[in-house]
């Protein structure tokens, strides 16, 4: 499984990170080195082994159906790069 | 009066209780040493006004005789903990200007106990690193230097600011977080103590997430006792964190009996790794000998999947990180770069906001989760993780704790390893297994390298048995009698 | 009863022969909870922008989800109502994608291990056929926020009030074969949800939305390529969308084209579906188990307690109405189609002639409600009053004919029928002398008709009508009939 330039571009697109043209190939090489290194896992026999789902053995915590939160739109907007009338504002999304 | 900053946290606590000095005096002393230590770049944000206000309130409570467990004790907070109204950056440009309207559970617990916040400590960006060189706010310098050298060394990472600040006596203790060794490894190279508690012991609520299934916060301080005191205050059930265990928190200070008679200590065979410096192996053997001499039983055990831990970690952690860091999108907080449309805005913001190592890990994580690769990488790694956990469970049938080195070597020079990610990742080789299995692990300073740099030993315990880990470490601390301190060279340049 | 395979549904006659429509539907039903699935923010409809948003919903750094137990309960309840497998262990996964109304950059959903597995829904078609539609699964997931694109020339506005609201995604098998079946399926599902009380089924407010998957094939051939029509929000639109889309696909194929699997949206103004260009980008959601949550484990007692509290559902109620009240299959089906209707019917028919009750409800009452656009819960004629009106008919106080007038007055005034009858003097005339007088008059006025009666005895009904008219409808038709027969016996040859 070798990562080529197209794969880097596809993955970067999925991750929404712009990669400048001249960084694509070096990034492919970096990723390939790391992936080649982690491929040592293939030598572990994991047949019949369940993937780990959680390290702590406990029941999932549950909350009562009560309204205990919200009502502070102003606080939420305080850190927003752009907001109007308590809406977060983003470049127009075309559907 | 003795220099208030050289007191241990426990000594300072007792001094406040005895009214030998006030919280304001104690805080002022630390603020002065912080000011003189800016060359270390340990703090991203100093909060002196905040600190003094908190200290005055603490003094008020002292006057009323209404003392919390940490009343008036100045602490540094890793800048991964959200603090209400105070800049919180995760050492990343992407959180530019972010002031959370909320307080993390851990820091809220500390303030409730009366502690004083000195400021927000530097770290590797999003805690991704082992040397504190990936911070957007620049590297932290270790207070330590090789004997006869003035080469700047790394303080370890990712809690590098915490380690440096504690070692340089800028604060009595600090919070750290540990995803693959980020408390224990910097503690070891900075000659201080640090404990990563059992996963679920401490709430993750309000801590900027790196890898949710591995992250755990813990204390860093100059003594085992200080760590015990801090951990007691930080830990506890939090209904806001689904993975935080609803079990009582023992009085860890009481556990520090140093009595190791009859304790069964495992020495994992697989931790003898080719290329580990001789002095690390020697230190490890010395640690085992101390324990044996004090009546502990030393038992060689096997953790057969150890060699795969790092590879599994470097799949699981980036995978979780790639998802955890998706929220940094320029919409609700932090940096936004202008874009021609929404996707362009996202891509430019995230390219400008994340540093190189973070981008690399996001891309790796995105790749290993993507269609067609999920089973081969992510699921495979989680299966290996099950095996690693099982290894520990089997070992703990025979022993009570495990003893290992903390890091494969002493601190290295800034820039020495930063262009080779894999050699950097190897710094976590002894610590990362503990995160994968969710166990408690602690590093305690145990000696100096030939060049005069601190080296640490790690004690690993059963789930939620921090008490035995602390007890063992308190014994090792006494046996090692580690008294070395870094020369305060940074004061000269300040 | 018949399942999807080998059944003849609606057929589209193309230029090249007949085509069969294959439909599968994913319904997103909002759990009728007060708070969101993983946060304590409110779910009420129509609130001020971002006023029902918690730090968790806004995906602020360090925020963690904790599940709402009521939502878990409602999902199980719904699963039981769909006669489905309840999975004792289910897992929450992250579905990763970037969109401004998805603050975390992932939706918490259930992918590989949903809370509810296979079940079924039976739908009764007007032709008398009962169709079985398989349920593939039901899972819990978060709703997204809302983006408003028409408020500003260059910006979209994001409101997160809906973000994190609990949805049950209910996925059917591709077992429907016509637009009518598709609409009937959603209608039946909505009825079941309302009976259970797990979702209010309000499609206008978005509490229930359907994604309709449509493909066409030659009868008996393998499935064709499907298109998914997103977020159709009324029963009528579902029907229109299927009709349009199936026709479109047939036209494309018959013109030599091929169907591309894609997401389409239904434009209700134009009555057509069209491709959603922005969704064309290949999706790679990188699902993986959410490390902030543990697997959801349900104990048997929890499930059994819910099972024991299930109400009588439409199918059982329909069977009972047929068995106990002698209603026809069709009438019983109409009576149970909405829980409110069934409750109304049961209230009216209690201790009375159930068939008469059903007739009045389906006839005069529904006609009025449809015209006025009212739900039965808002009916101006209460079940109580309608029942009392039936009593007045049964005890001969009013005739069926007069009852129609009384009913109209009840609709207008909401009044009590006995009072209306009294106040308006509508009491039925049973006094035989008055009836005899009217009969005599009619016979006297219609000598020619009396002649006709000799050869055409069925003419008697006409005489009854004339007498009724003369008495303003108040005469008891039974009595009129008897008097007429007696007085005309000579003509009728009795
Ligand atoms: Mg779907
Ligand atoms: Zn869905």
Give tens-digit pLDDT for C417-463. 999 988 888 787 777 788 888 888 898 898 888 888 888 888 888 88
- Predicted confidence at residue C479, as pLDDT, reads 82
Residue B119's closest CA among B47, B181, B59?
B47
Count of CB atoms situated within 10 Å of the CB of B14: 12
Judging contacts by C-beta atoms under 8 Å, the chain A residues touching residue B379 are 51
Token pair in block for residue C183: 């609409």
Which secondary structure element, helix H or strand E, spans residue B297, and what is its range? strand B297-301
All structural domains of chain C, each given as residue ranges with its CATH number in brackets, are: 11-306 (no CATH), 310-423 (no CATH), 432-493 (1.10.10.410)
Instruction: Give A10's contacts (C-beta < 8 A, 6+ positions apart).
Output: none
Asked if C203 contacts C260 with a C-beta cutoff of 8 angstroms, the reply is no
Q: Annotated catalytic, B474?
A: no
pLDDT band at residue C97, thresholds of 50, 70 and 90?
A: very high
Residue C58's closest CA among B334, B380, B173, B85?
B334
Shortest CB distance from B332 goes to which of A27, A37, A80? A80
Instruction: Give B335's contacts (C-beta < 8 A, 6+ positions apart).
Output: A81, B93, B94, B95, B96, B97, B328, B349, B352, B353
Longest dimension (CA), chain B: 70
- Predicted confidence at residue A22, as pLDDT, reads 95
- In the stretch 231-260 of chain B, residues with CB closer than 8 A to chain A read 239, 241-246
- How many CA atoms lie less than 13 Å away from A2 in the CB half-sphere? 4
Residue C244's closest CA among C265, C263, C224, C225?
C265
How far is the first Cα of chain C from the last one, in angstroms, to the nearest whole number? 52
- Predicted confidence at residue B494, as pLDDT, reads 43
Which secondary structure element, helix H or strand E, spans residue C14, and what is its range? strand C11-14
Residues B140-169: b if buried by 16+ CB within 10 A, e if exposed: bbbbbbbeeeeebbbbbbbbbbbbbbbbbb
Asked if C4 contacts C205 with a C-beta cutoff of 8 angstroms, the reply is no
Helix-helix angle C477-487:C432-445, to 10 degrees: 60
Q: Give the residue from A52, A60, A76 with the most B CB atoms within 10 Å of its CB, the best one to mutate.
A: A52
Asked if B312 contacts B434 with a C-beta cutoff of 8 angstroms, the reply is no
Residue B225's closest CA among B490, B473, B488?
B473
Q: Average pLDDT, stretch C280-298?
A: 90
- Predicted confidence at residue C281, as pLDDT, reads 59
Long-range contacts of B51-54 (CB under 8 A, 24+ apart): B51/B27, B51/B116, B51/B117, B51/B118, B51/B119, B52/B24, B52/B27, B52/B28, B54/B27, B54/B111, B54/B115, B54/B116, B54/B117
Our separate counts of H helices and E strands in chain B read 16, 11
* Pairwise CA distance, residues C354 & B493, whole Å: 98
* Pairwise CA distance, residues C491 & C479, whole Å: 19
* Pairwise CA distance, residues C74 & C199, whole Å: 9
* Pairwise CA distance, residues C446 & C437, whole Å: 14
pLDDT band at residue B48, thresholds of 50, 70 and 90?
A: very high
Q: Average pLDDT, stretch C35-44?
A: 98
Q: Average pLDDT, stretch B86-109?
A: 98
Query: With 80 as the cut, is the pLDDT of residue C282 above it?
Result: no
- Predicted confidence at residue C456, as pLDDT, reads 86
pLDDT for B202-258, tens place per residue?
Answer: 999 999 999 999 999 999 999 999 999 999 999 999 999 999 999 999 999 999 999
Q: Which residue out of B22, B33, B78, B418 is catalytically annotated?
A: B78
Residue B166's closest CA among B340, B33, B63, B46?
B33
How much is the mean pLDDT over chain C?
92
User: How does DSSP classify residue C361?
Assistant: I
Query: With 60 as the cut, is the pLDDT of residue B444 above it?
Result: yes
Query: With 90 as the cut, is the pLDDT of residue C478 above it?
Result: no
Q: Across the interface, do B332 and A76 touch by the CB < 8 Å criterion?
A: yes
Instruction: Give B261's contacts (C-beta < 8 A, 6+ positions apart).
Output: B294, B295, B296
Judging contacts by C-beta atoms under 8 Å, the chain C residues touching residue A86 are 48-51
Token pair in block for residue C264: 């389409």
* Pairwise CA distance, residues B468 & B149, whole Å: 39
Q: Average pLDDT, stretch C134-138?
A: 98
Asked if B405 contacts B457 with a C-beta cutoff of 8 angstroms, the reply is yes
Closest residue of chain C to B211, computed from CA coordinates: C291
* Pairwise CA distance, residues B273 & B433, whole Å: 14
Asked if C143 contacts C164 with a C-beta cutoff of 8 angstroms, the reply is yes
Asked if C440 contacts C428 with a C-beta cutoff of 8 angstroms, the reply is no
Token pair in block for residue C478: 């039974």
- In the stretch 288-307 of chain B, residues with CB closer than 8 A to chain A read 305, 307
All structural domains of chain B, each given as residue ranges with its CATH number in brackets, are: 7-261+478-493 (3.90.1300.10)
Q: Is the peptide bond before B158 cis (omega within 30 degrees of 0)?
A: yes
Q: Across the interface, do B311 and A30 touch by the CB < 8 Å criterion?
A: no
Instruction: Give B291's contacts (C-beta < 8 A, 6+ positions apart).
Output: B260, B263, B265, B298, B403, B472, B475, B476, B479
* Pairwise CA distance, residues C185 & C134, whole Å: 11
Shortest CB distance from B370 goes to which of C65, C286, C293? C286
Asked if B366 reaches chain A (Cβ–Cβ under 8 Å), the answer is yes
What distance in angstroms lies between residue C64's CA and the mean position of ligand 2's atoms? 21
Q: Please, is A94 exposed, middle or buried when counting C-beta atoms within 10 Å of its C-beta (0-12, 13-18, 19+)?
A: exposed
* Pairwise CA distance, residues B160 & C301, whole Å: 50
DSSP-assigned beta bridge partners for residue C23: C176, C214
Q: Across the interface, do B327 and C94 touch by the CB < 8 Å criterion?
A: no
Percent of chain C clearing pLDDT 70 (strictly above) = 96
Judging contacts by C-beta atoms under 8 Å, the chain B residues touching residue A12 are 347, 363
Residue B161's closest CA among B196, B181, B187?
B187
Closest residue of chain B to A82, computed from CA coordinates: B331
DSSP-assigned beta bridge partners for residue C109: C93
Query: With 50 as the cut, is the pLDDT of residue B1 above it?
Result: no
Place of tokens 């690399």: B360
Q: Average pLDDT, stretch A46-56?
A: 93
- Predicted confidence at residue C451, as pLDDT, reads 85
- Predicted confidence at residue C422, as pLDDT, reads 87
Q: Annotated catalytic, B323?
A: no
DSSP-assigned beta bridge partners for residue C140: C168
Query: With 80 as the cut, is the pLDDT of residue C2 above it?
Result: no
Q: Which residue out of B22, B131, B159, B182 is catalytically annotated?
A: B182
pLDDT band at residue C1, thresholds of 50, 70 and 90?
A: very low
Residue B176 dihedral angles phi and psi, to the nearest 5°: -135, 170
Q: For residue C311, is it left (φ>0), alpha (ψ between -120 and 50) or beta? A: beta
Domain ranges of chain A: 5-39
Q: Annotated catalytic, B182?
A: yes
Token pair in block for residue C284: 């790679």
Shortest CB distance from B241 goes to which of C61, C64, C284? C64
**Three-state DSSP class for residue C127:** coil
DSSP-assigned beta bridge partners for residue C227: C214, C262
Dump the DSSP string for C179-233. Answer: HHHHHHHHHHHHHHHHHHTS----TTTTSEEEEEEEEEESTTSPP---EEEEEE-
Count of CB atoms situated within 10 Å of the CB of C150: 8
Q: List Cα–Cα distances, C396 to A49, B85, C385, C461, C466, in angstroms.
A: 79, 80, 17, 20, 20
Asked if A2 reaches chain C (Cβ–Cβ under 8 Å), the answer is no
What distance in angstroms lies between residue C243's CA and the mean position of ligand 2's atoms? 24
Q: List Cα–Cα distances, C128 to C1, C123, C328, in angstroms.
A: 10, 10, 11
pLDDT band at residue C8, thresholds of 50, 70 and 90?
A: low
How much is the mean pLDDT over chain B?
96
Place of tokens 């946290």: B9
């Amino acid at each position: 499984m070798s990562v080529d330039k197209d794969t880097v571009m596809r993955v970067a697109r999925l991750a929404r990170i712009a990669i400048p043209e001249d960084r694509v190939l070096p990034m492919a090489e970096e990723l390939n080195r790391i992936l080649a290194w982690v491929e040592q896992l293939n030598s572990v026999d994991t047949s019949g082994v369940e993937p780990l789902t959680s390290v702590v053995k406990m029941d999932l915590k549950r909350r009562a159906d009560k309204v205990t939160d919200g009502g502070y739109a102003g606080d939420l907007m305080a850190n927003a790069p752009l907001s109007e009338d308590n809406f977060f504002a983003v470049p127009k999304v075309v559907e | 009066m003795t220099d208030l900053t050289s007191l241990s946290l426990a000594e300072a606590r007792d001094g406040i209780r005895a009214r030998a000095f006030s919280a304001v005096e104690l805080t002022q002393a630390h603020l002065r040493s912080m000011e003189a230590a800016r060359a270390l770049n340990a703090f991203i944000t100093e909060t002196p006004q905040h600190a003094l206000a908190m200290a005055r309130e603490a003094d008020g409570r002292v006057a009323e005789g209404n003392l919390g467990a940490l009343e008036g004790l100045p602490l540094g907070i890793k800048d991964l903990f959200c603090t209400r109204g105070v800049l919180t950056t995760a050492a990343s440009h992407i959180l530019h200007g972010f002031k959370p309207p909320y307080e993390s559970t851990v820091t809220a617990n500390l303030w409730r106990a009366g502690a004083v916040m000195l400021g927000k400590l530097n770290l590797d960006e999003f805690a991704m690193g082992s040397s504190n060189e990936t911070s957007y706010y620049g590297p932290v310098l270790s207070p330590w230097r090789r004997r006869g050298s003035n080469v700047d060394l790394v303080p370890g990472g990712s809690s590098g600011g915490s380690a440096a600040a504690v070692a340089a006596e800028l604060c009595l203790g600090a919070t750290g977080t540990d995803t693959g060794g980020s408390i224990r490894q910097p503690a070891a190279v900075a000659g201080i103590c640090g404990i990563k508690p059992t996963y679920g012991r401490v709430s993750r609520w309000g801590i900027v997430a790196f890898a949710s299934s591995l992250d755990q916060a813990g204390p860093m301080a100059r003594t085992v006792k200080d760590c015990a005191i801090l951990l007691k205050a930080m830990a506890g059930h939090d209904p806001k964190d689904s993975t935080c265990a609803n079990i009582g928190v023992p009085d860890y200070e009481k556990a520090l009996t140093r009595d190791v008679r009859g304790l069964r200590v495992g020495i994992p065979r697989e931790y003898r790794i080719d290329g580990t410096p001789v002095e690390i192996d020697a230190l490890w053997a010395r640690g085992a000998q101390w324990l044996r001499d004090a009546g502990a039983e030393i038992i060689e055990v096997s953790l057969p999947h150890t060699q795969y831990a790092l590879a599994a970690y470097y799949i699981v952690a980036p995978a979780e990180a790639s998802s955890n860091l998706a929220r940094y999108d320029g919409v609700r907080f932090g940096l936004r770069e202008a874009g021609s449309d929404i996707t362009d805005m996202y891509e430019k913001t995230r390219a400008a906001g994340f540093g190189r190592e973070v981008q690399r890990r996001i891309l790796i994580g995105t790749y290993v989760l993507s269609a067609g690769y999920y089973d081969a990488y992510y699921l495979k790694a989680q299966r290996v993780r099950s095996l690693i956990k099982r290894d520990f469970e089997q070992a703990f049938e025979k022993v009570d704790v495990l003893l290992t080195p903390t890091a494969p070597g002493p601190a290295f020079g800034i820039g020495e390893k930063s262009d080779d990610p894999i050699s950097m990742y190897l710094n976590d080789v002894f610590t990362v297994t503990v995160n994968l299995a969710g166990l408690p692990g602690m590093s305690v300073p145990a000696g100096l390298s030939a060049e005069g740099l601190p080296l640490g030993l790690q004690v690993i315990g059963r789930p939620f048995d921090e008490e035995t880990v602390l007890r063992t470490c308190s014994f090792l601390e006494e046996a090692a009698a580690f008294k070395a301190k870094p020369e305060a060279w940074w004061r000269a340049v300040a | 009863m018949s399942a999807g395979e080998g059944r003849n549904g609606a057929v589209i006659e193309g230029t090249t022969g007949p085509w069969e429509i294959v439909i599968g539907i994913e319904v997103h039903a909002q759990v009728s909870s007060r708070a969101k699935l993983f946060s304590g923010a409110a779910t009420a409809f129509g609130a001020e922008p971002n006023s029902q948003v918690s730090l968790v919903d806004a995906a602020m750094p360090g925020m963690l989800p904790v599940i709402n137990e009521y939502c878990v309960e409602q999902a199980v309840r719904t699963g039981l109502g769909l006669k489905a497998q309840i999975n004792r262990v289910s897992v929450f996964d992250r579905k990763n994608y970037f969109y401004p109304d998805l603050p975390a950059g992932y939706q918490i959903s259930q992918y590989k291990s949903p809370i509810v597995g296979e079940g079924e829904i039976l739908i009764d078609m007007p032709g008398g056929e009962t169709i079985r539609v398989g349920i593939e699964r039901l899972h819990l997931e978060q709703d997204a926020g809302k983006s408003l694109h028409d408020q500003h020339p260059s910006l979209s506005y994001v409101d997160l009030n809906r973000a994190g609201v609990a949805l049950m995604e209910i996925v059917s098998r591709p077992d429907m074969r016509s637009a009518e079946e598709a609409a009937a399926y959603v209608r039946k599902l909505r009825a079941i949800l309302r009976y259970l009380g797990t979702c209010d089924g309000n499609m206008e407010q978005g509490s229930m939305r359907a994604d309709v998957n449509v493909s066409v094939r030659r009868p008996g051939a393998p499935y064709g390529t499907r298109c998914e029509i997103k977020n159709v929000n009324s029963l009528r639109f579902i029907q229109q969308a299927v009709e349009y889309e199936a026709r479109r696909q047939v036209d494309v194929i018959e013109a030599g084209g091929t169907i591309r699997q894609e997401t389409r949206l239904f434009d209700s103004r134009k009555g057509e579906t069209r491709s959603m260009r922005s969704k064309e980008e290949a999706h790679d959601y990188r699902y993986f188990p959410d490390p902030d949550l543990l697997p959801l484990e349900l104990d048997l007692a929890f499930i059994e307690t819910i099972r024991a509290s299930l109400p009588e559902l439409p199918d059982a109620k329909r069977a009972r109405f047929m068995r106990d009240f002698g209603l026809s299959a069709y009438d019983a089906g109409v009576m149970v189609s909405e829980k409110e209707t069934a409750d109304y019917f049961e209230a009216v028919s209690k201790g009375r002639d159930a068939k008469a009750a059903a007739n009045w409800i389906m006839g005069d009452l529904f006609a009025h409600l449809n015209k006025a656009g009212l739900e039965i819960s808002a009916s101006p004629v209460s079940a109580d009053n309608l029942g009392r009106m039936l009593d007045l008919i049964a005890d001969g106080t009013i005739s069926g004919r007069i009852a129609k007038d009384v009913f109209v007055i009840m609709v207008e005034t909401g009044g009590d029928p006995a009072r209306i009858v009294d106040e308006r003097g509508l009491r039925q005339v049973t006094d035989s002398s008055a009836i005899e007088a009217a009969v005599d008059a009619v016979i006297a006025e219609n000598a020619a008709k009396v002649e006709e009666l000799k050869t055409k005895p069925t003419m008697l009904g006409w005489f009854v009508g004339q007498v009724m008219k003369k008495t303003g409808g108040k005469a008891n038709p039974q009595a009129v009939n008897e008097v007429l027969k007696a007085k005309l016996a000579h003509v009728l040859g009795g």
